[in-house]
Structure 1
Amino acid sequence: MIRGRGLRFGVLGQLEIVRDTAPVIIASPKQRIALATLLLQANKFVTKGELADRIWENGLPANVCASLHTHMSRLRQALGDDGSLIMTRDSGYSVFATEETLDILRFRNLVSLAAEARRRGDIEHESRMLREALALWRGPALADVDSESLQCEVVPALERERTRAQERWFDVAIGRGEPAEVIVDLESAVDAHPTHERFWAQLILARSQAGRPAEALQTYQTARKVLAAELGIDPGPEIQQAYERISKGAAVPSASARAREAQTVSDLPKPAELPADNGAFTGRATELGRLRTRLTSSRPRPVVAITGLGGVGKSALAIHVAHQIADDFPDGQLYVDLYGSTPGRDPLQPLEVLGRFLRSFGLANPAIPASVDEAAARFRSVTGRRRVLVVLDNARDVHQIRPLIPGGPGCGVVVTCRRSLASLVNVEQCHLDVLSQEEAGLLLSRLVGRERVETEREAAAAVVRLCGGLPVKLCVAAARLTARPEETFDALRDRLAMEQGRLPATATA
């Protein structure tokens, strides 16, 4: 059986469905959201809960399972699917796709082939693969899919994949002495991403190499004005280096020279130490958007400090946002629990943490200095030319974390702490409050199951209120229900009412 019967899908632009050469129209916004959600996780099962959350962002219908089944049945009918394209299990749905039938899969495969060519030193083939990959983009991803959660949580990651491929393609063209091939695309890139400094630097170099030095100098001045107006900062090292190079009339380095220059950096290990993300993470859309923007757009990147009382979800937010932006830090992601507020544990000393970090980058114990100041300096040297994300979870105070800040302007730092960290240089604080009643109810549904909550809606709402919007208390309550399947929300509500104020305290930040 041929799955999909001639269907091809596109998410790299407006949502596109084509059978053979004829477009397939999916008019229902909810069905378009469902299809987009499945396509973005093609060949994996998406839970019914996740689909429902995407489709009904502003409140679930009374009988969510029946409503979801209806929409999925109509989507299948619109696609002419006999069950071989959208597969069903008790837990959820999955769409089968290949790189021939789904553009995002084709894009990722071409980028992977380009990386293999680069490792072989075949720059010409790398350039061809990148050009073909980028040609698949028809505009902003899922531009016509009306889903706030997809646009905020998923689309930015897709756009970052595109941006990284563009960066490399521009580098290759400039390094091969073919700037004219990419100048128009670079101009479009800086228009679309006016605060993305690397695009500005590449446009300066490309115009200079193409024999347009006056335009290159004007590009530098424009970049200065844009960055000052948008972010209140001066151009970073990459733009400054490009400006100095053309001011002195220096030649733009070749692709092979650039590869050799980057080799000393790429030879180091790329640690990926983030803990697993929380699949039940709920809410915090405003905070997530703000943190993503600050950690990926600012230069130098700030130290972002998430503060708030114990159990409010600081660690979960830090880990969740770190996973969302990890691709922006391709040289590694470091994580450590500093035990700053953990009962029965002494806070970690900075020297111990620095030793861990340096070993993660491949340094042997004899190469790790024995004093905090020297180890911190070594850490700053190792990270000075890299883009590394550092998550310092459960910090005690400023003194504990100050030596752990990396050195490069392209590095990001996320700290969680119960105390204010306002005395840190270049810190941006994000104070976390308790969850709203709606968010707390959604979290409880994800933890114990929506159907179980719906059968005892009033008692479940009372449990949410008794937990006071604290994720840790909701998790404890959910764990009790999960461990005792026979226990009702009524019984749990009465238990919590008696225990009010005596739920176990959290041991995390």
Structure 2
Amino acid sequence: MLLRLLGAVEVADGSGWRRAGPAKQSCVLAALTLARGQPLSTDELIQRVWHHDPPLSASNVLYSHMTRLRALFNDIDDIQLTRHRDQGYRLLIPDRSVDVFAMRHLVARAQQATGADDLDAARRLWAAAAELWRGPALTGVEGRWADSIRKSLHKEQLTVLTGQYGTALMRGEHQAVVDELSRLADAHPTAEALTAQYMLALHRCGRPAEAIARYEETRGLLRTEFGVDPSSALRDLHRRMLRQDPQLDWTRSRSGTVPAAGATTGGSHRRLVAPRQLPADTTTFIGRDEPLRQIVAAIDGHNRVVTVDGMPGVGKTALAVRAAHTLAPRFNDGQLFVDLHGWETSTPPLRPVEALGRLLRSLGVPPDAVPAHPDERAAVLRHTLTGRRVLLLLDGARDLDQIRPLLPAEPRCAVLITGRRRFIGLHDAPAVSLDILAGDAAVELFNRIAERTSIVDDVLRVIDACGRLPLAIRIAATRLRSRPHWSIRDLLDRLSSNRRLRLLDHGSRSLSTALDASFHALTPLSRTAMTHLARTSPLTAAELGAEMDLASSEAEDLLEELCDDNLVRGLSSGRYHAHDLVREYARRIGPLPAHPG
């Protein structure tokens, strides 16, 4: 580990740790680190450090901070701080050397271990992730940007804590953790997941009255402070405690694992937990009324599976989540959500056996009743869902092999699947293929997010520069909203330059990141075809064949495969066209070298 942000901002010095410098210098280092190798312009860094009130000497002060940071890194080979005249400053450091990224890697592994029912490994991984936290993130760094990062990382810390103590409860260690859960629940009184774990630990320690009292205390706090009631999950736990539900008690299984909270055991009387796992719906759902109507009509028409496909950044997940929330009242036995990670470069695709484990535990199947073999898990899932009305949202599917084992046989269940590729093999499933936004919808989306009133012609030029792609429009509008000193013409100038893709990179919600996984999945031949389309689009199969020394039929097959990947569109004229932003990305990365032989 070379850099630590989960606490005070610190740098390894060979013999220990030292502060990265004054608060604003630490803010600069944190901003460059969290950009993960992407350059930040001087203006972007000034915005993060001083927000809207920079001193007249901000550029000079920033330069001084950079000079001192370079001096800190002189003897560290794995850290490079570079300056680019057009691209600003960039910090290059391996993810494994930064505590934030190391923590996220451990969390992903812990979740995978939990999904595979390896609770011993999960316990070690959650503990390792928790040990990386030394206090509030970016301790001592002030400002709006630092506050937003701190708030976001605090949510990740709560994920680590609930994972760590949830695993302990699954292992039957309630006596060992009840006091620590009491401290954590007091420190985070509105973190309902921690409250639920504390209540369950109290219940299992033979202190049910204290668990009920804790629920009443939490309910009073939420009503007083926020005007809301506890979540349905916490209310359900409270009701089960009042009923003295024996399934809340911990009993050791043959394998040494324990039932998940809320699970039931035993024969034909097993009760299904009714999970409510849908992600939050977007407040800027614009221009997708017709595909939403198609999905709802298909499910209401007794189609058990509906797929949503489209190019990266076109809004597949947002549409599916809105549809799932619309359909939720029809599926009162639960709504399940699984992120299959099919199109991420930083996280491997979720294996069917892991996804099945998550689904079964979410439905209340005890870990000792979850088989190891994926075929047997799929059979248990089908059995568990028999006679139930449950909606499954499978997001980011890579291919059919990843999703087939997850499909229920129960006709009253329904499945929404999103993915970039068209799901050709699901012959009976209606497919909704998303295109870019219509002009008026794109203008409305931009204006809603930018929170500005701008000249319509200027907005139209901006959304055209974004290719009317929802993700690009959202990022561009967010950029403008966060920079009051920019006019819309300033934004347009930047989108019209060769910096367009860099401007549309925004952390994990980056257009380049979205395209990375699609291009990495291409064969060298397909990547070469995309390089030709980047130079000339639209073109015919014959024209591509001549460029690549292929027969027209081979070139046509190649182009049709790219259409299935939603990287290319076939036109009625017999020509094929790639989106402007896809073409720009393809020009930037170039073709893959063909393998010899």
**TM bucket by the smaller chain?**
0.5 to 0.7
Q: 1:351 aligns with which of 250, 270, 293?
A: 293
8 Å contact from structure 1 (residues 217, 243) kept in 2:
yes
Q: 1:115 aligns with which of 111, 120, 123?
A: 111
User: Would the alpha carbon gap of residues 376 and 20 (structure 1) be closer, same or farther in structure 2, given more than 3 Å must change?
Assistant: closer
In the aligned structure 2, how far is the partner of 1:179 from the partner of 1:45? 47
Secondary structure class of the residue paired with 1:58: coil
Q: 1:20 is matched with which residue? A: 14
Matches within 5 A, 1:70-219: 70-81=64-75, 85-90=79-84, 91=87, 92-99=89-96, 101-152=97-148, 154-219=149-214
In the aligned structure 1, how far is the partner of 2:391 from the partner of 2:293? 16
Q: CA deviation at 1:269?
A: 12
User: Would the alpha carbon gap of residues 259 and 229 (structure 1) be closer, same or farther in structure 2, given more than 3 Å must change?
Assistant: closer
User: What one-letter code is carried by the residue in structure 2 that aligns with 1:107?
Assistant: M
Q: 2:260 is matched with which residue? A: 258
User: Would the alpha carbon gap of residues 194 and 407 (structure 1) be closer, same or farther in structure 2, given more than 3 Å must change?
Assistant: farther
Q: 1:381 is matched with which residue? A: 331
- After superposition, the C-alpha distances for 1:30-80 in whole angstroms (9 at most, x for unaligned) are 211111222334455444443232223234455765543332011222454
In the aligned structure 1, how far is the partner of 2:324 from the partner of 2:98? 51
Matches within 5 A, 1:246-285: 246-251=241-246, 252=248, 257-258=259-260
Q: 2:405 is matched with which residue? A: none
Structure 1 unmatched runs, 5+: 1-6, 272-294, 296-302, 306-317, 319-335, 340-346, 366-372, 390-405, 409-417, 419-429, 437-443, 448-463, 484-509
User: What one-letter code is carried by the residue in structure 2 that aligns with 1:381?
Assistant: F
User: Would the alpha carbon gap of residues 242 and 111 (structure 1) be closer, same or farther in structure 2, given more than 3 Å must change?
Assistant: same
Structure 2 unmatched runs, 5+: 251-256, 265-271, 308-322, 340-389, 393-439, 441-447, 455-461, 466-479, 500-597
User: Would the alpha carbon gap of residues 480 and 138 (structure 1) be closer, same or farther in structure 2, given more than 3 Å must change?
Assistant: closer
Q: 2:218 is matched with which residue? A: 223
In the aligned structure 2, how far is the partner of 1:352 from the partner of 1:65? 53
Q: CA deviation at 1:124?
A: 1.8
User: Would the alpha carbon gap of residues 374 and 105 (structure 1) be closer, same or farther in structure 2, given more than 3 Å must change?
Assistant: closer
TM-score after normalising by structure 2: 0.47
User: Would the alpha carbon gap of residues 55 and 86 (structure 1) be closer, same or farther in structure 2, given more than 3 Å must change?
Assistant: farther
Q: CA deviation at 1:258?
A: 3.0
Q: How many residues align?
A: 338
Q: 1:434 is matched with which residue? A: 452
User: What one-letter code is carried by the residue in structure 1 that aligns with 2:293?
Assistant: L
Q: 1:324 is matched with which residue? A: none
Q: 1:234 aligns with which of 225, 229, 232?
A: 229
User: Would the alpha carbon gap of residues 33 and 435 (structure 1) be closer, same or farther in structure 2, given more than 3 Å must change?
Assistant: farther
Q: CA deviation at 1:209?
A: 0.5
In the aligned structure 1, how far is the partner of 2:334 from the partner of 2:227? 23
Q: CA deviation at 1:261?
A: 6.0
8 Å contact from structure 2 (residues 110, 123) kept in 1:
yes
Matches within 5 A, 1:28-107: 28-60=22-54, 67-81=61-75, 85-90=79-84, 91=87, 92-99=89-96, 101-107=97-103
8 Å contact from structure 1 (residues 167, 198) kept in 2:
yes
- After superposition, the C-alpha distances for 1:338-395 in whole angstroms (9 at most, x for unaligned) are 26xxxxxxx6275225368999x98248xxxxxxx99954675289444799xxxxxx
User: What one-letter code is carried by the residue in structure 1 that aligns with 2:159?
Assistant: R
The range that moved more, 142-151 or 252-261, is 252-261
Q: Which has the higher contact order (CA 8 A, sep 6+)?
A: 1
Q: CA deviation at 1:204?
A: 0.9
Work out the percentage of aligned pairs sharing the same amino acid.
Answer: 24
8 Å contact from structure 1 (residues 117, 126) kept in 2:
yes
8 Å contact from structure 2 (residues 170, 258) kept in 1:
yes
In the aligned structure 2, how far is the partner of 1:407 from the partner of 1:472? 43
8 Å contact from structure 2 (residues 278, 325) kept in 1:
no
TM-score after normalising by structure 1: 0.54
In the aligned structure 1, how far is the partner of 2:77 from the partner of 2:169? 49
8 Å contact from structure 1 (residues 265, 385) kept in 2:
no
In the aligned structure 1, how far is the partner of 2:60 from the partner of 2:299? 50
In the aligned structure 1, how far is the partner of 2:213 from the partner of 2:79? 53
Secondary structure class of the residue paired with 2:260: helix
Secondary structure class of the residue paired with 2:331: helix
- After superposition, the C-alpha distances for 1:398-435 in whole angstroms (9 at most, x for unaligned) are xxxxxxxx999xxxxxxxxx9xxxxxxxxxxx998538
- After superposition, the C-alpha distances for 1:439-493 in whole angstroms (9 at most, x for unaligned) are xxxxx9xx9xxxxxxxxxxxxxxxx9xxx9997666456657889xxxxxxxxxx
8 Å contact from structure 1 (residues 186, 199) kept in 2:
yes
Q: CA deviation at 1:129?
A: 1.2
